[in-house]
């Protein structure tokens, strides 16, 4: 389970996918399979979560990695390149962006 904490020495990647409601479940299935069968087994992987908006037109993916290099090695693998080609066919666009946690807040 992802744990969001500021000051953690990890790489956070947030990817947003845009799709039609008609392809949302197919894309979610492809992403779920990618994480279960491949991504979660890669060196440096820590945790991830998939989020779907109410209109089923966007999926947000939050993932945590030990380092940028670990994330990039996963992306460059032959299996992930093939999976990304299929994922790209199911959505209008997707964009992974690397972030550092700047601040966190909890209920008081």
pLDDT of residue 8: 80
DSSP string, 48-68: EEEEE-TTSSEEEEEEEES-H
pTM: 0.91
Average pLDDT (56-78) is 97
Q: How far apart are CA 54 and CA 89, in angstroms?
A: 22
Domains of the chain are 11-99 (3.30.70.100)
> Alpha-carbon Rg of the chain, whole angstroms?
14
Q: Please report which confidence band the pLDDT of residue 77 belongs to, taking 50, 70 and 90 as the band edges.
A: very high
Q: How far apart are CA 66 and CA 97, in angstroms?
A: 15
Q: How far apart are CA 101 and CA 103, in angstroms?
A: 6
Which range has the worst mean pLDDT, 19-28, 64-73, 94-103?
A: 94-103
- Predicted confidence (pLDDT) at residue 5 exceeds the cutoff of 90: no
- Predicted confidence (pLDDT) at residue 80 exceeds the cutoff of 90: yes
């Amino acid at each position: 389970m992802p744990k969001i904490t500021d000051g953690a020495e990890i790489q956070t990647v947030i990817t947003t996918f845009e799709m039609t409601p008609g392809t949302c479940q197919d894309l979610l299935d492809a992403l779920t399979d990618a994480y279960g069968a491949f991504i979660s087994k890669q060196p440096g992987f820590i945790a991830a979560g998939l989020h779907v908006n109410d209109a089923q037109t966007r999926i947000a993916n939050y993932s945590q990695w030990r380092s940028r290099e670990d994330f990039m090695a996963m992306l460059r693998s032959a299996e992930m390149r093939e999976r990304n080609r299929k994922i790209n066919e199911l959505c209008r666009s997707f964009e992974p962006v690397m972030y550092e946690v700047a601040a966190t807040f909890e209920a008081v």
